[in-house]
A = this chain, B = another copy of it.
Amino acid sequence: MNDTGSLDHLIEALRRLPGVGVKSAARMAFHLLQHDREGARVLAQALDAAVDRMGHCKLCHTFTEDEVCATCRDPRRDPGLLCVVETPADQAAVERTAAFRGRYFVLMGRISPLDGVGPNEIGVHQLLTRATDGLVHEVVMATNFTAEGEVTAHLLGTALRERGLKVTRLARGVPAGSELEYVDLSTIAHALVDRR
Residues of A within 8 A of B (CB): 1-7, 9-10, 12-14, 16-19, 23-24, 26-34, 36-37, 39-54, 63-66, 69-70, 87-89, 108-109, 181
Contacts and interface: CB of A to CB of B under 8 A. Distances in A.
25 contacts: A3-B70, A4-B65, A6-B49, A6-B54, A9-B49, A10-B46, A10-B47, A10-B50, A12-B46, A13-B43, A13-B45, A14-B17, A14-B43, A16-B43, A17-B31, A18-B28, A19-B28, A23-B89, A30-B63, A30-B88, A33-B51, A33-B63, A40-B47, A40-B51, A41-B48
Nearest to A65: B3
A97 B37 CA distance: 31
Interface of A is mostly: helix
Contacts of A34: 108-109
A34 B54 CA distance: 10
A63 B4 contact: yes
Count of chain copies: 2
Nearest to A87: B30
Contacts of A29: 50
Given A18-B27, A32-B50, 9 more contacts: A3-B70, A14-B46, A16-B43, A18-B31, A30-B88, A32-B51, A33-B50, A40-B51, A44-B47
A21 to B, nearest CB: 11
